[in-house]
Structure 1
Amino acid sequence: MASQEVEVLVVGAGQAGIAMSEHLSDRGISHLVLERDRIAERWRSMRWDSLVANGPAWHDRFPGLEFTGLEPGDFASKEQVADYFEAYAAKIDAPVRCGVEVTSVRRKAGAPGFRVETSDGHFDARYVVAATGPFQKPVIPAVVPESSGLVQLHSSSYRNPEQLPDGGVLVVGAGSSGVQIAAEIQCSGRQVHLSVGPHDRPPRSYRGRDFCWWLGVLGMWDASTPAQGAEHVTIAVSGADGGHTVDFRALAEEGIKLTGRTLSFDNGTISFAADLRDNIANGDAHYLGLLDEADAYVERNGLDLPEEPGARMLRPDPESLTDPILELELAGAGIRSIVWATGFAVDYGWLQVDAFDERGKPRQQRGVSSEPGVYFLGLPWQSRRGSSFIWGVWHDAKYVADQISIQRSYLAHNEQHALVTGGVPGGVLDGVPSGV
Structure 2
Amino acid sequence: MTSLSLKDHYGAVVVGGGQAGLSASHYLGKAGIDHIVFEKKTAAHKWKSERWDAFCLVTPNYQCLLPDHPYDGDDPHGFMVKDEIVAYLDRFIARVAAPVLEHTEVRLVEHTGEGFRVETSAGTVTADSVVLATSLYADPFIPRAGAKLPETILQLHTADYRNPQSLPEGAVMVVGSGQSGCQIAEDLHLAGRKVHLVTGNAPRCARFYRGRDVVDWLTDIGQYEITIADDGMEKKKHDTNHYLTGRDGGRDIDLRQFALEGMELHGRMETVSGGRMIFRPNLKQNLDEADRVYNGINALIDRYIAGKGIEAPPPSVYRPVWTPEREVTEIDLRAAGITSVVWATGFTPDWSFVALPIFDGTGYPVQRRGVTGVPGLYVLGLPWLWTWGSGRFLGIAKDAEYIVDHLADFVACDLPAARRVSAV
Q: How much does 1:183 deviate?
A: 1.1
1:240 and 2:247 correspond: yes
Tell me which residue corresponds to 2:296: 289
Aligned twin of 2:308? 301
Percent of paired sites with the same residue = 35
Contact 2:282/2:327 (8 A) holds in 1? no
CA distance in structure 2 between the aligned counterparts of 1:207 and 1:23, rounded to whole angstroms:
39
Do structure 1's residue 22 and structure 2's residue 26 form an aligned pair? Answer: yes
Partner residue in 1 for 2:120: 118
Alignment partner, residue 322 of structure 2: 317
User: What TM-score, normalized by structure 1, do the two folds share?
Assistant: 0.87
The equivalent residue for 2:381 is 378
Change (3 A) 1:290 1:358: closer
Distance 1:215 1:275 in 2: 30
The Cα shift of 1:250 comes to: 1.5
Write the distance in 2 (CA, Å) between the matches of 1:400 and 1:47. Answer: 29
**Match of residue 419 from structure 1:** none
Aligned counterpart, 2:280: 273
Distance of aligned partners of 1:237 and 1:85 in 2 relative to their CA distance in 1, 3 Å threshold: same
Does residue 263 in structure 1 map to residue 266 in structure 2?
A: no
Task: Write the mapping of 1:15-94 to structure 2, written as runs, cut at 5 A.
Answer: 15-62=19-66, 64-94=68-98
Q: 1:400 — aligned with what?
A: 403
Residues 279 and 226 (structure 1 numbering): CA distance in 2 closer, same or farther, change over 3 Å? farther
Q: What is the CA–CA distance in structure 2 between the aligned matches of 1:133 and 1:260, rounded to whole Å?
A: 29
Asked if 1 retains the 8 angstrom alpha-carbon contact of 2:266 and 2:283, the reply is: yes
**CA, structure 1 residues 313+372, in 2 after alignment: closer, same or farther (shift >3 Å)?**
closer
- CA shift in 2, pair 1:82/1:104, >3 Å: farther
Q: Once the 2 structures are TM-superposed, how far is the Cα of residue 256 of structure 1 from its aligned partner?
A: 1.0
Q: Secondary structure at the match of 2:61?
A: coil
Deviation at 1:147?
Answer: 5.5
**Partners of 2:64 and 2:71 within 8 A in 1:** no
Between the aligned partners of 2:36 and 2:124, the Cα distance in structure 1 is: 13
Give distance in 1, aligned partners of 2:107 and 2:146.
32
Shift of 1:209: 2.4
The 3 A distance-change label for structure 1 pair 308 and 59 is farther
> For 1:18 and 1:257, how far apart are their aligned partners in 2?
42
Describe the superposition over 1:330-361 as per-residue Cα deviations: whole angstroms up to 9, x where unpaired: 11111121111011110012222222234433
Is the CA contact 1:39–1:85 (under 8 Å) kept in the aligned structure 2? no
**What CA distance in whole angstroms lies between the structure 1 residues aligned with 2:116 and 2:301?**
49
Q: Deviations over 1:351-372 (max 9, x none)?
A: 2222223443322222112322
Is the contact made by 1:378 and 1:387 (CA closer than 8 Å) also made in structure 2?
A: yes
1:76-155 correspondence to structure 2 within 5 Å: 76-108=80-112, 111-146=113-148, 148-149=150-151, 150-155=153-158
Letter in 1 for 2:133: A
Per the normalisation by structure 2, the TM-score is 0.90
- Counterpart amino acid of residue 245 in structure 1: D
Indicate how the Cα distance of structure 1 residues 148 and 287 shifts in structure 2: closer, same or farther if over 3 A, else same.
same
Q: What's the secondary structure of 1:48's corresponding residue? A: coil
Q: Which residue of 2 aligns with 1:420?
A: none
Tell me, which stretches of 5 or more residues in structure 1 are unaligned?
Answer: 415-425, 428-432
- Specify the SS of the correspondent of 2:413: helix
How far the C-alpha of 1:218 sits from its partner, in A, is 2.5
Contact 1:202 1:236 in 2 (8 A): yes
Conserved 8 A contact 1:49-1:159: yes
Judged with a 3 Å threshold, the aligned counterparts in structure 2 of structure 1 residues 258 and 223 are, in CA distance, closer, same or farther, namely: farther
Change (3 A) 1:83 1:36: farther
Residue identity in the other structure for 2:388: R
Deviation of the 1:136 alpha carbon: 0.6
Q: How far does residue 184 in structure 1 lie from its aligned partner after superposition? A: 1.1
- Are the equivalent residues in 2 in contact too, given 1:43–1:79 (CA < 8 A)? no
What is the alpha-carbon distance in structure 2 between the residues aligned to residue 237 and residue 213 of structure 1?
15
Q: Work out whether residues 14 and 85 of structure 1, in 8 Å CA contact, stay in contact via their aligned partners in 2.
A: no
The equivalent residue for 1:387 is 390
CA shift for structure 1 position 315 = 4.4
Shift of 1:243: 1.1
Output one character per residue of 1:259-314: Cα deviation in whole Å (capped at 9) or x when no partner: 1111111111111111111111111111111111111111211223x3144x5343
Contact 1:54–1:238 at 8 Å: present in 2 too? Answer: yes
Change (3 A) 1:38 1:365: same
Query: Quick check: which has more Rg, 1 or 2?
Result: 1
1:231 alignment partner AA = H
Structure 1 contact 70–76 (Cα < 8 Å) conserved: no
CA distance in 1, matches of 2:30, 2:308: 37
Q: CA–CA distance in 2 between the matches of 1:93 and 1:256?
A: 47
Question: Which stretch of the first structure deviates more once superposed, 377-386 or 225-234?
Answer: 225-234
Counterpart of 1:155, as a letter, is T
The separation in 1 between residues aligned to 2:214 and 2:22, in whole angstroms, is 26
2:334 paired residue number = 331
Change (3 A) 1:382 1:156: same
| Equivalent position amino acid for 1:367 in 2 | G
What letter corresponds to residue 237 of structure 1 in structure 2? L
Partners of 2:302 and 2:408 in 1: how far apart? 43
